[in-house]
Chain A
Amino acid sequence: MAHEYIPEISTDRDGTEHVVQGWQDDFYGGKLGFWLFMFTEVLMFGAMFLVLTYYKMLHPADFVAASASLNRFLGGTNTVILLVSALTMGLSLLKMRAGDVKGAKLMIWATIILALMFLSIKAVEWTAEYNHGVFLGLDALQSGNPHSKPFGEILFFGMYFTMTGIHGFHIIIGIGLMVWLLKRINAGKVSPEHHILHWNIALYWDIVHLIWVFVFPYFYMIGAASGGTGGH
C-alpha cells in the first residue's frame, strides 16, 4: 500500500503549501523506530554485563578459572564467522541500494549460511560442555552438592549460558527475519526504491554481531592466559 500513497498538502494562511509527512512511506521514521528498538537491546545486554562485572569483582579468580575452561578455538571461529556475516549483510544492503537485487539476495543467503554455521558450532560447544557436566541445571552448577563448582564459577557459567543463549536466540530470530526478507524481495515488496525493511534487518544483524564482539572477550578471553586454545 505504501506505493500508491500520495502525501497530503496543508496550506497556511498565506496560501503557501506544505507537504505533510504521513505514517505511510516514512523511511526516516522507520529507521528511527528501529534505532530506538536497538537501543533497548543494548540496554538489555548492558544490564547483564553490569551483573557480570559485579560478580567478576567479587570472584575474580573463579571467573578466570571458569573462563580458562571454555573453548577459545570454537569461540574464536564463531567470532570470525559472525564478523564475516556482518560484512555480507552490509554488502547485501549496498547491492540493494545500488539496484543489484540478485546480488543482494545472494549476499543474504550467504549471511543465512554463516548464521547457521555459527549456530552449529555453538551447538557443538554446548554439547561438549554438557557432556563434561557443565550445563544449566546440572549438579556442577548447583551449590550444595559434592560435584558443585565454587560460587564464582557457577555464576560465571550461569551468566555464560544465559547470555550466549539469549544471543543465540537473537541469531535464530535474525535467520527468520532474513528468510522473510527474501520472501518480501521475491514478492517485489522490497526493492531498491523501497528497502526500509532490508535496512532495518541489516541494522539488527549489526547489533547482533556487535553484542557478540563484547560477549566473546568477556567470557572467553579473560582466562586465555591460563587456558590455552582448547577447552571442553
Chain B
Amino acid sequence: MSKSYFDETHCAIGHPKSTFMQWMLTVDHKRIGLMYAAVMFTFFFIAVSTALLMRFELFAPGQQFIDGDTFNQAFTLHGVIMIFLFIVPGIPAVFGNIVMPLMIGAKDVSFPRLNWFTFWLYIFGSAIAIASLFTDAGFADTGWTFYAPYSLNTGTNVIFTLVAAFVLGMASILTGLNFLVTIHRLRAPGMTFFKMPLFVWGIYATAWIQLLATPVVGITLILAIMEKYFGIGIFDPSKGGDPVLFEHLFWIYSHPAVYLMILPAFGIMSEIIPVFSRREIFGYRTIALSSASIAGIGYLVWGHHLYTSGMADIAKTVFSLLTFFVAIPTGIKFYDWIATMYKGKIVLSTPMLWAMGTIITFAIGGLTGVTIAMIGVDIHLQDTYYTVAHFHYAMLGGVVFLFFAGMHYWFPLVTGKMYDEPKAKIAFYMQFVGFNLLWFPMFIAGFLGMPRRYFDYLPEFQIYHQFSFFGALLFVAGLVFMFWVFYKGWTKGEKVGPNPWHATTLEWHMPTSPPPLENHSKVPYVDFDPYEYHHGEPVVKFDYETMRRID
C-alpha cells in the first residue's frame, strides 16, 4: 500500500521517531490543518455548551441557574471563543491549510516552518484565553468587544483575554502572510490568477484582510492593556480619553473580520455548487472579483457599528451608504450560484444540501443586515435580539454552515473514506430546522424590543425564548449527530478513490487517497479552467503518475 500523509511527515526540528512528536513537530500543511480542526472544534463545543447554558437560563424570566455576572462571563466566553478561537482562524486555518496548496498544485505552503510556528502561536493564545477562566478574578465579562470604559473598570481578568486576542491576531496575520506568498509564488505552471479555483480566491481576499486589518486591533488591544495597567486614560472618559475612539479602532479591524470569516466560506460554496450541478460555474470572474471588492469595501464600513455611539451625521450617512454597497458583490455571488444550478445535473449529496441550505439562511442573514445598515432602523434595533439573530444567521447560518459543507465535501479527500450519506443528511435537516427555530423568533423578539446580553426579560418575550430553546436543543442534537457520523465515517467508513464527487479541481487528482506527503506525484501544467464539465462529466483527466492530461 502506498504511503499517505498519515504515515510519514517532515518535521520542523529533527526527525523524531514517535508518532506523537511527529504530529507535534510536523510542517506538512495537511497535518497542521487537521490539528487546527481538532483544537478548534474542541473549543467550538465549549462555546456551544456555554450558549446552551444561556438558553437554559433564558427559558423563563427571572433567575434559574446562573446569576447575572456569570451570565455576562458566559456570553463573553461564548463570543471570545467563537470569534477569536473558532471562526476567525476557522476556514483559512483548516481548509486553507489542507486544501489550498493542493488546489494550486503546490507541495506545501511557502513557509512551512512558519506555518508550524503559527499553529503553536494559536495554541499559546488559546491557552492564555482559557487560563483566565481559572484565575481568581475570573473570565472577562465585557463581551467579546471589550468596549471601554467598562473593560477598563471591571474587576474581571480582561488583561488575559486582551493578550490572548493579541497573540491570536498575530497567528492570524502570519497565516494570511503565508497564504498570500503561497498563492503568489507557488501556483503550478500555467495557472494564472483567473484559472485558480474560487476557494483560492476566497482565501486570497481573506489573507489580505488578515494582513491589513489585524495589526490595528492588535495595537488597540495593547493600548487597552497599557491603559488598564498604567491608567493612561487613552479610552477612559473620566481621565480625558475617548471611548468612541476605542470603538472606531476596534471595528476598523473587527468589521473587515466578518468578511474575513465569510469570504473563504463563499469560496467553499463556489467549489460545491459547480461540482454537484455538474456544470461550469456561471460568472467565474464576477465571483472572483466580487470577493476582492467585498474585501475592499468591507474596510470602509466599520462605522455602522457606531450609529448610537456618537458620530457625526454625515459620517453615519456615508457609512450607511458604503454598507449598502457590500450587498452588491454579495448579491452577484448569489445570482451566479443560482445561475450555475440552472439546467445543471444537480446531485443532492450532503455537501450540496448544506450549500443550498446556506443560500436560504445566509440570504436571510444578509438581507436583515441591510435593514440594520439603515440609520433610522438601526437606532431602533441596535443591541436587540434582531441584531443577534442577524449575525448568527450570517455567521452560523453562513460561515459555519459552509464550513460544515466543506467538511462533508473534503472528508473523503482528507480521510480517504466516506461517511454514511443518509445519516449525514438527517444531521443536516436536524440542524437546519433547529437553526431556524432557534434564531428566527429572535428577529421578532428583537423587533419588539428584547435587548441583547440581558439575563432576564419581561414575560411577554417568553414565548420567543422558548421556541429558541427547543430549536437550540434540536440544533445541538443534530450537531452531535453530525460529528458522530464523521467519527463513524473515519473509523468504519468505506474506502473511496481519489475523486468520489467527480470534481475537477486539482485537489481531487491525487495519486493516492488520502494524499501522499508531498501531494501530487508531479506538478501538473494547468492549461484549463477550474470547473470544466461537458455533458455532466469532468473534461480534464490526468494520469495520476505523470500528472499529464490524458483527455
**Which A residues are within 8 Å of any B CB, using their own CB?**
8, 10-13, 18-23, 26, 28-29, 32-33, 36-37, 39-41, 43-48, 50-51, 54-55, 58-59, 136-137, 141-144, 151-152, 154-155, 158-159, 162, 166
How long is the Cα–Cα vector from A166 to B182 in the complex, in angstroms? 30
B106 touches A48 (CB 8 A): no
**What's the least CB distance linking B518 to chain A, in Å?**
10
- Ranked nearest first, the 4 interchain pairs of A and B with the lowest CB-CB distance are A151-B240, A158-B232, A18-B189, A12-B525
A143-B233, A155-B234 known; A48-B245 Cβ under 8 A: no
B216 touches A22 (CB 8 A): no
A36-B181, A136-B226, A141-B232 known; A20-B523 Cβ under 8 A: yes
B215 touches A10 (CB 8 A): no
**What's the least CB distance linking B516 to chain A, in Å?**
15
**What's the least CB distance linking B225 to chain A, in Å?**
10
B110 touches A23 (CB 8 A): yes
Which residue of the partner chain B has the closest CB to A23?
B110
- Residues of A within 8 Å of B219, CB to CB, are 44-45, 47-48
Which residue of the partner chain A has the closest CB to B549?
A13
Interface contact tally, CB-CB below 8 A? 146
Which residue of the partner chain A has the closest CB to B231?
A142
How long is the Cα–Cα vector from A47 to B182 in the complex, in angstroms? 28
Interface with A: B63-71, B172-180, B354-362, which one? B172-180
How long is the Cα–Cα vector from A33 to B111 in the complex, in angstroms? 9
Which residue of the partner chain A has the closest CB to B240?
A151
**What's the least CB distance linking B250 to chain A, in Å?**
11
A36-B180, A154-B239 known; A21-B230 Cβ under 8 A: no
B239 touches A143 (CB 8 A): yes
- Residues of A within 8 Å of B189, CB to CB, are 10, 12, 18-20
**What's the least CB distance linking A36 to chain B, in Å?**
5
How long is the Cα–Cα vector from A151 to B110 in the complex, in angstroms? 48
16 contacts between A and B (CB under 8 A): A10-B523, A13-B525, A13-B549, A23-B107, A26-B110, A29-B181, A36-B177, A40-B215, A136-B230, A141-B230, A141-B231, A143-B238, A143-B240, A151-B240, A158-B226, A162-B226
**What's the least CB distance linking B235 to chain A, in Å?**
9
A21 touches B226 (CB 8 A): no
B242 touches A23 (CB 8 A): no
How long is the Cα–Cα vector from A154 to B227 in the complex, in angstroms? 11
B107 touches A154 (CB 8 A): no
In this complex, the member of B185, B548, B549 whose beta carbon has the largest number of chain A beta carbons within 10 angstroms is B185
- Residues of A within 8 Å of B109, CB to CB, are 23
What is the interface residue range for chain B against chain A?
Answer: 35 or more
Which residue of the partner chain B has the closest CB to A156?
B232
* B223 within 8 Å of A (CB atoms): yes
Partner of A136, one of B111, B182, B232: B232
How long is the Cα–Cα vector from A159 to B240 in the complex, in angstroms? 14
A23 touches B108 (CB 8 A): yes
In this complex, the member of A20, A141, A151, A152 whose beta carbon has the largest number of chain B beta carbons within 10 angstroms is A20
- Residues of B within 8 Å of A40, CB to CB, are 173, 177, 211-212, 214-215
Given contacts A21-B185, A33-B180, 5 further A-B contacts (CB under 8 A): A29-B186, A32-B184, A40-B212, A40-B214, A136-B226
How long is the Cα–Cα vector from A48 to B527 in the complex, in angstroms? 47
A13 touches B110 (CB 8 A): no
Partner of B190, one of A12, A48, A144: A12
**What's the least CB distance linking A96 to chain B, in Å?**
22
Near A by CB (< 8 A), chain B positions 500-550 give 522-525, 527, 546-549
